[in-house]
């Protein structure tokens, strides 16, 4: 959120001699001496423990609030200048205001929050952001996609920034508008520079906080959900800044398909996102009573595939082992004819009421980069469980021809895809665990585990319990527009 209390709560100058020794994440609470979750008050630079330890950072704020109110009783104007309400997490460098009771995403006119963050930041750990790191590393290995942003001049974004502010403007002090495209571009440019020190995508992360409120804070998030939000916002911002011109599109315009070039366009104008990741599904629904057939076309940026239930069963030692689930099994399950259950009755316009029906998906147009999401998390009555089934997937030559609506119209070899990146979730639940990624770069496979990058081999990649798979079309270079 945008906090109005920063200017009155942040110390004018940060004296290094007032900071404790050691790295900020190891600092201890001034009251209980705990080094778990240290928070520093931005008014007096005293360190206390966070709310999930003994809560001394909050008590520090409350004690000073009572003191200020008692000393200035009846002076309403002075009461608004209460200090000690804004703290910074010494591990993740996020800022929290106790008066707003929320994390803060804005800064002062002088940029004091960012200056302090840069002063303290000695580690490359932003908290539970492995979900973001795994997606960024995967997207950086998609050459057609990352090269577009790397080669995009920063100056080219400025001309479209004013138009973009209509969507992303803020009301804080000064010009705090952010460009997700620009921060994403800078991140991609830094990832493969070969530096010995790890790159910290903190600027991108705080831009995401401004633009995508659901990802604020430092709790674990779903990598697939984050990827969809990221691609969607990149697409929308590029619509506004393409060629330095404004292309305003109302959210009510929904999804549009261009009949001239067959491109998948979300909310109107195509972008590099829809040009590379965009495909088209044909959804066929048949009424089982009168036989009426309904067809509609659905653009997609990725396909979410169920792991068939027969592969989820756990067998005892005395029973026969469950056969290995393959990616082809998941694709067949997605495209096979399915009878809709009673909760999904189809409204038949001929029968004039909801009737039992069947549904089937066909792929009308394949994307340049095929993103396949394996639905490993599902809700039970009380919690969200994880499907830990291993799914066998090919590294080369995934043939999608059998899932096309009109395979005879495709060119020979045009439906073959090669794997370029894999996102893996380690752990038992969506709100916990850890994300890593495998990526192919210049003929070699690498394992990306936050700031640690190690060379690996194809056999290791094949054994991974994939969560998201990125396949690149084998034929030639991608023509963006």
Q: Catalytic residue positions?
A: 130, 434
What is the Rg, in whole angstroms, of the alpha carbon atoms belonging to the chain?
A: 26
C-alpha–C-alpha distance, residues 447 and 435, integer Å: 11
Residue 92 contacts by C-beta under 8 Å, 6 or more apart in sequence?
125, 126, 127, 218
Q: Which long-range contacts (CB under 8 A, 24 or more apart) does 394-399 make?
A: 394/327, 394/419, 395/419, 395/458, 395/461, 395/462, 397/474, 398/327, 398/370, 398/471
Q: How many residues does the chain have?
A: 481
| Alpha-carbon dihedral sign for residues 459, 461, 465, 470 | negative
**What strands lie across the sheet with 102-104, from one edge to the other?**
47-49, 38-41, 86-89, 95-97, 102-104
Listing DSSP states for 123-143 in one string gives S---SS-HHHHHHHHHHHT-H
Residue 138 contacts by C-beta under 8 Å, 6 or more apart in sequence?
421, 422, 423, 437, 439, 468, 470
- Phi (first) and psi of residue 303, to 5 degrees: -115, 130
C-alpha–C-alpha distance, residues 61 and 192, integer Å: 43
C-alpha–C-alpha distance, residues 91 and 126, integer Å: 7
C-alpha–C-alpha distance, residues 335 and 205, integer Å: 37
C-alpha–C-alpha distance, residues 51 and 30, integer Å: 14
β-strand 303-305 against 369-374: which pairing, if any? parallel
**Number of C-beta neighbours around residue 414 at 10 A:** 15
Residue 99 contacts by C-beta under 8 Å, 6 or more apart in sequence?
5, 82, 85
Token output for 244:
């330095």
Which among 429, 331, 322 has a CA at the least distance from the CA of 374?
Answer: 331
**What is residue 398's DSSP assignment?**
E
C-alpha–C-alpha distance, residues 374 and 378, integer Å: 11
- Phi (first) and psi of residue 463, to 5 degrees: -80, -5
C-alpha–C-alpha distance, residues 213 and 205, integer Å: 11
């Amino acid at each position: 959120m945008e906090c109005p209390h920063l200017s009155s709560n942040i110390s004018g100058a940060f004296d290094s001699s007032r900071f404790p020794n050691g790295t900020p994440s190891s600092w201890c609470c001034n009251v209980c001496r705990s080094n778990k979750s240290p928070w520093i008050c931005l008014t007096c630079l005293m360190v206390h423990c966070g709310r999930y330890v003994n809560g001394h950072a909050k008590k520090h704020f409350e004690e000073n609030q009572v003191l200020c109110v008692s000393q200035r009783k009846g002076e309403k104007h002075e009461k608004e200048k209460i200090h000690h309400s804004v703290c910074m997490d010494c591990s993740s460098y996020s800022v929290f205001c106790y008066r707003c009771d929320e994390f803060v995403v804005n800064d002062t006119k002088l940029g004091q929050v960012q200056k302090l963050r840069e002063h303290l930041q000695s580690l490359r750990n932003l908290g539970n952001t492995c979900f973001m790191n795994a997606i960024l590393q995967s997207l950086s290995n998609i050459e057609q996609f990352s090269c577009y942003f790397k080669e995009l001049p920063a100056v080219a974004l400025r001309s479209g920034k004013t138009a973009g502010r209509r969507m992303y403007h803020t009301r804080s002090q000064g010009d705090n508008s952010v460009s997700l495209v620009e921060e994403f571009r800078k991140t991609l440019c830094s990832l493969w520079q070969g530096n010995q020190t790890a790159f910290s995508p903190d600027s991108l992360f705080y831009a995401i906080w401004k633009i995508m409120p659901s990802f604020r804070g430092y709790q674990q998030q779903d990598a697939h959900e984050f990827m969809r939000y990221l691609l969607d916002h990149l697409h929308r911002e590029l619509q506004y800044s393409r060629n330095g011109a404004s292309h305003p599109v109302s959210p009510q315009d929904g999804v549009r398909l261009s009949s001239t070039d067959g491109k998948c366009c979300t909310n109107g104008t195509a972008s590099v996102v829809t040009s590379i990741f965009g495909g088209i599904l044909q959804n066929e629904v048949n009424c089982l009573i009168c036989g009426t057939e309904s067809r509609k076309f659905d653009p997609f940026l990725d396909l979410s595939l169920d792991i068939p239930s027969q592969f989820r069963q756990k067998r005892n030692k005395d029973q026969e082992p469950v056969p290995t689930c393959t990616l082809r099994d998941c694709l067949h399950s997605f495209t096979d004819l399915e009878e809709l259950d009673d909760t999904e009755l189809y409204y038949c316009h001929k029968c004039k009421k909801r009737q039992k029906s069947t549904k089937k998906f066909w792929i009308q147009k394949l994307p340049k980069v095929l993103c396949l999401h394996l639905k490993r998390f599902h809700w039970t009555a009380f919690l969200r469980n994880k499907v830990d089934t291993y799914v066998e997937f090919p590294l080369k030559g995934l043939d999608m021809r059998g899932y096309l609506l009109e395979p005879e119209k495709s060119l020979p070899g045009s439906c073959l895809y090669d794997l370029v990146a894999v996102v893996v979730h380690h752990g038992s639940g969506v709100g916990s665990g850890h994300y890593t990624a495998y990526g192919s770069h210049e003929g070699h496979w690498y394992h990306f585990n936050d700031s640690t990058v190690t060379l690996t081999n194809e056999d290791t990649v094949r054994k991974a319990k994939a969560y998201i798979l990125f396949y690149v079309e084998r034929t030639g270079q991608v023509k963006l527009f």
